[in-house]
Amino acid sequence: MTALRGITWDHPRGYAPLAASLQPYARLRDVSVEWEKRSLKDFGDAPIDALAEEYDLLVIDHPHVGLAAEKRCLLPLDEWIPAQVMETLARQSAGPSHASYSYSEHQWALAVDAAMQTSVSRPDLLQSGLPATWMDVVALGEKLKSKGMSIAVPLCPTDAICCFLTLCASMGSPFGRGPRGVDPSIGASSLRLLRQFSSLSPVQCLAWNPIMLLEHMSVANDIAYCPLAFCYNCYSRERPGQHRLRFRDIPGGRGSILGGTGIAVSSRCAFPTEACGYAAWICGAESQRSFYFAAEGQPANVAVWDDPEANARTDDFFSGTRRSLEMAYVRPRHPGFVDFQKRAGELINGFLRGQDDEQSCLSAIQREYEKTR
């Protein structure tokens, strides 16, 4: 039996569907994969070239593909997977998930998981309709505060930059489309809005990531609504002892930052044909619709997003957030962007903690971006 090593991220959504794939694929192709996990923070920040030295299969975020192309640490999958298979996966992509791993004329990963920022609510706590605009979010936050509840946004450094990028894109200036990163007036407006969200959120949100927020919302009764958080369909399913959360499009529906993951193959892999075969199989419609979704995965194949049964089991998670996915903002993927994202997140988190003023923060973000170009 051919043995492969893989690295994924440490959450049931990132690990359980891969674990569920092992027995079916071993029977099908006599190939085994030993999957290991890394933290959510390391998933976004750890150098991909170092991981490719150790593992055959890597679950990655799309901003890493620029570095992968520069270092040639991953296989260009279009040279290893039949064109017909690649065309099918591209056609079946949920939103821009598949395309986000295409860079410098090659496909560096296959979309295995699809995500973006959405809104999320507790239907039992939020009796009114969902906010339609960002200012409606502020108004809702003030109204909930008078009732002893609140809105909340996860704003740890990693998510502070993601929220900023979503707001910039939703206001018409997708970050990275110009030499300075963002239109200065829109960048300033986005920072001001984030500060309003932060002031209306519990103070611990400055250290929270989306998982922390969603876990809290599912068991406590003080947060009724979040306008911006990466979505996790597992929280929209029936879970013993926990409240069911409802995920819907962000206000306005456009500009949500694309998340999700892709599965890539190290250029040092000793069994590239077998590794590429596994990657294509697990991203295919049949795998994603069956064991992958059953194991609380969040498939990147549109066959699941269109599936009435999958929507019924998740309170219309897929259909209710589809517009945000289709209109999602794809981050820059040049080699320096991952480092920029880390530094900018720390700057914005510091700004929200009162360590800097709006214009100084924006100028620092733009200077950091210019260093990467």
* Containing structural domain, residue 11: 2-114+259-316
Q: Which of 253, 114, 111, 251 is nearest to 193 (CA)?
A: 251
Residue 331 lies in a domain: no
Residue 35 lies in a domain: yes
Do 228 and 280 belong together in one domain?
no
Instruction: Tell me what pLDDT residue 178 has.
Output: 75
Instruction: Tell me what pLDDT residue 99 has.
Output: 98
User: How many independent structural domains does the chain possess?
Assistant: 2
Do 349 and 271 belong together in one domain?
no
Do 217 and 277 belong together in one domain?
no
Residue 354 identity: G
Do 15 and 128 belong together in one domain?
no
| Percent of the chain residues past pLDDT 90, beyond the cut | 93
Do 21 and 105 belong together in one domain?
yes
Instruction: Tell me what pLDDT residue 47 has.
Output: 80
Q: What is the DSSP string of 244-261?
A: PPEEEPPTTS--PBB--E
44 pLDDT above the threshold of 80: no
Do 283 and 203 belong together in one domain?
no
Buried residues in 108-133 as b, exposed as e (16+ CB within 10 A): bbbbbbbbbbbbbbbeebbeeebbee
Give tens-digit pLDDT for 314-347: 999 999 999 999 999 999 999 999 999 999 999 9
- Residue 296 and residue 102: Cα distance in Å, rounded? 27
- Residue 108 and residue 102: Cα distance in Å, rounded? 6
Do 190 and 307 belong together in one domain?
no
Instruction: Tell me what pLDDT residue 43 has.
Output: 63
As given in the structure block, the two tokens for residue 231 are 């979505």
Do 231 and 361 belong together in one domain?
yes
41 pLDDT above the threshold of 80: no
- Residue 199 and residue 202: Cα distance in Å, rounded? 8
Alpha helices in 129-202 (DSSP H): 134-145, 157-170, 184-200
Mean pLDDT value across the chain: 96
Do 124 and 216 belong together in one domain?
yes
Residue 270 lies in a domain: yes
Do 213 and 362 belong together in one domain?
yes
Tell me the pTM: 0.96
pLDDT-based confidence at residue 39 (cuts at 50, 70, 90): confident
- Residue 214 and residue 199: Cα distance in Å, rounded? 19
Do 187 and 136 belong together in one domain?
yes
Give tens-digit pLDDT for 269-322: 999 999 999 999 999 999 999 999 999 999 999 999 999 999 999 999 999 999
Instruction: Tell me what pLDDT residue 242 has.
Output: 95
Phi, psi (rounded to 5 degrees) for 290 = -100, -100
We report the CATH number of the domain holding residue 211 as 3.40.190.10
Do 148 and 237 belong together in one domain?
yes
83 pLDDT above the threshold of 90: yes
Alpha helices in 30-156 (DSSP H): 40-45, 48-54, 65-71, 83-91, 134-145
Residue 327 lies in a domain: no
- Residue 69 and residue 48: Cα distance in Å, rounded? 11
Residue 287 burial (CB < 10 Å; 0-12/13-18/19+)? buried
As given in the structure block, the two tokens for residue 328 are 């999602």
86 dihedral zone (left: phi>0; alpha: psi -120 to 50; beta)? alpha
Higher pLDDT, 195 or 177: 195
Residue 126 lies in a domain: yes
Residue 321 lies in a domain: no
* Cβ neighbours of residue 65 closer than 8 Å, sequence gap 6 or more: 74, 100, 101, 102, 103, 108, 109, 333
Q: Coil, strand or helix: which one is 31?
A: strand
Residue 19 lies in a domain: yes
Q: Which residues pair with 266 in a beta bridge?
A: 74
- Residue 124 and residue 220: Cα distance in Å, rounded? 12
pLDDT-based confidence at residue 45 (cuts at 50, 70, 90): low
Residue 124 lies in a domain: yes
Give tens-digit pLDDT for 99-131: 999 999 999 999 999 999 999 999 999 988 999
